Amino acid sequence: DSGVTQTPKHLITATGQRVTLRCSPRSGDLSVYWYQQSLDQGLQFLIQYYNGEERAKGNILERFSAQQFPDLHSELNLSSLELGDSALYFCASSPGGLAEAFFGQGTRLTVV
């Protein structure tokens, strides 16, 4: 158990809908990363937050947004969903700075 909790584990929704994925980082970790992993693909960096502020942005679509709350949990919002958004979405947390990141078990999103 990495200490990073992601909910829900599975999500099935229709095209055009909006969903919210939630991540609770390890206790004390200030940094949260979001990654997308499509079938048999690598980990695509979406966005990173550090202590409530956006720190780095990767290949995140404009239809996607994220935030980190004062209690340090984070949410990834995906809207106007398309079939191609079906993927595993991982959250990782780290203390920040030069330190290892620990991954959650992921949320499997299926858009039908």
The per-residue b/e assignment along 13-33, b for 16 or more CB within 10 angstroms, e otherwise, is beeeeebebebbbbeebbbbb
For other proteins, the closer CB: 75 or 79: 75
Looking at residue 65, its amino acid is S
For other proteins, the closer CB: 61 or 103: 103
Q: How far is the CB of 80 from other proteins (least distance, A)?
A: 26
Task: Give me the residues that bind other proteins (CB under 8 A), please.
Answer: 2, 4, 31, 33, 35, 41-43, 45, 48, 50, 55-56, 58, 90, 92, 96-106
Q: How far is the CB of 105 from other proteins (least distance, A)?
A: 5
For other proteins, the closer CB: 5 or 65: 5
Dihedral sign of CA atoms 49, 19, 9, 12 in order: negative
d(CA 6, CA 63): 21
